[in-house]
């Protein structure tokens, strides 16, 4: 049995005058999966999601959402999806329940379902008994959960979340992702954009968009195992910046990135390189507190992929899309 896709995108492009915001992007999202669309700010994430939700018309390319064409069937798309934008689309001058009722009307929740769905939204947001509170007075974490509840009042098959946890504290971010996981268990497909690499671990598959191009696509494990050019060492020393300068000059070192007070050093073979790194640092009077091989994180992967992309662009080449 062939698994159907909730979203299919082929050569999707959006330009604003001479500026290319999304450049010939192609991917698919399977029904029932959490698909993470990752990338730095300005990479093209939000422009892509706005095209898929019918807010912005593509310049060229093809895209279907739940089988509906983004050019010809925009209204059908809007009726069958949920969408939560970067900025909470709640009305601060309305009460919690007034916001829920407003979105219930926007999404045409049937009269027989309203009572149940409105009660569910309050419970899901942790706001049972607080329907009369002014929305503007809520903490950011509660606003976030309320915005999610409003976005899925009509029980959409596909939910688009555009940077839903931007500016939210770590505890609230974790709670929010627990809600997303429950939605997936209930059969909802989730398409989420984010620049938080730790959140990407919760996704079934990931796409990395950088400078308007999709440069990496796969599961978290595939990206960690296929796209790292070598072993990753976490290096903690008495002088982080000097240590970075020292190891970067070593021919055995592929790349170096700063992670807090530690360095993540990528080498072709840790067994052949470990002692050479220690010797080089000792020669420069840098004390090594810790030098351990670690499993690469998605942040390691994406730092490596982006550096490779930048090097190819600077050299006039074009790396193959993976």
Mean pLDDT (the chain) is 91
What pLDDT, in 10s, does the model give residues 168-191?
Answer: 788 888 888 998 999 999 999 999
pLDDT at 2: 46
pLDDT at 111: 92
Q: Going from the N-terminus, what domains does the chain have, and what CATH number goes with each? A: 5-224 (3.40.50.300), 229-295 (3.30.70.100)
Q: Is 228 in contact with 196 (CB distance < 8 Å)?
A: no
pLDDT band at 115 (very low <50, low <70, confident <90, very high): very high
User: In which order are the strands placed within the sheet that holds 189-194?
Assistant: 81-84, 158-162, 189-194, 34-38, 205-210, 213-218
Angle in degrees, 0-180, between the axes of helices 140-151 and 170-185, rounded to the nearest 10: 20
How many CA atoms lie within 13 Å of 282's alpha carbon, on the beta-carbon side?
6
What pLDDT, in 10s, does the model give residues 51-102?
Answer: 999 999 999 999 999 999 999 999 999 999 999 987 667 999 999 999 999 9
What pLDDT, in 10s, does the model give residues 131-143?
Answer: 999 999 999 888 9
Residue 31, pLDDT > 60, answer: yes
A 10 A CB-CB count for 159 gives 23
Residue 316, pLDDT > 80, answer: no
For tokens 């505890």, name the residue. Answer: 171
pLDDT at 321: 41
A 10 A CB-CB count for 237 gives 23
Between 205 and 170, whose confidence is greater?
205
pLDDT at 168: 79
pLDDT at 317: 53
Residue 277 CA, chain-centre distance (Å), reads 35
**The whole model's pTM is what?**
0.85
- DSSP H helices, the chain, are 45-52, 74-80, 96-106, 111-124, 140-151, 170-185, 197-200, 220-226, 240-248, 270-283, 298-314
What pLDDT, in 10s, does the model give residues 227-283?
Answer: 887 899 999 999 999 999 999 999 999 999 999 899 999 999 999 999 999 999 999
């Amino acid at each position: 049995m062939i698994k159907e896709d909730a979203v299919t995108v082929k050569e999707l492009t959006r330009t604003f005058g001479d500026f290319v915001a999304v450049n010939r992007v192609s991917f698919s999202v399977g029904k029932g999966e959490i698909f993470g669309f990752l990338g730095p700010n300005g990479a093209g994430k939000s422009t892509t999601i706005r095209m898929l939700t019918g807010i912005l018309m593509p310049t060229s390319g093809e895209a279907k959402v739940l089988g509906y064409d983004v050019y010809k069937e925009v209204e059908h798309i809007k009726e069958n999806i949920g969408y939560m934008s970067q900025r909470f689309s709640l009305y601060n001058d309305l009460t919690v329940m007034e916001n829920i009722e407003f979105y219930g009307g926007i999404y045409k929740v049937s009269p027989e379902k309203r009572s149940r769905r409105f009660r569910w939204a309050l419970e899901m947001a942790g706001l049972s008994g607080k329907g009369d509170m002014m929305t503007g007075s809520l903490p950011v974490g509660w606003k976030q959960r309320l915005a999610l509840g409003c976005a899925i009042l009509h029980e959409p098959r596909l939910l688009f979340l555009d940077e839903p946890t931007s500016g939210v504290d770590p505890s609230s971010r974790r709670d929010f992702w627990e809600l997303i996981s429950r939605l997936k268990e209930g059969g909802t497909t989730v398409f989420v954009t984010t620049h938080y690499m730790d959140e990407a671990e919760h996704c079934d598959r990931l796409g990395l968009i950088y400078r308007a191009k999709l440069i990496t696509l796969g599961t978290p494990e595939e990206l960690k195992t296929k796209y790292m050019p070598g072993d990753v060492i976490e290096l903690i020393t008495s002088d982080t910046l000097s240590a970075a300068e020292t190891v970067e000059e070593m021919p055995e070192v592929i790349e170096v990135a700063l992670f807090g007070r530690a360095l993540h050093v990528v080498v072709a073979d840790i067994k052949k390189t470990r002692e050479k790194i220690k010797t080089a640092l000792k020669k420069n009077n840098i004390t090594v507190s810790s030098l351990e091989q670690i499993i690469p994180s998605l942040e390691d992967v994406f730092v490596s992929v982006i550096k490779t992309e930048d090097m190819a662009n600077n050299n006039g080449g074009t790396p193959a899309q993976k």
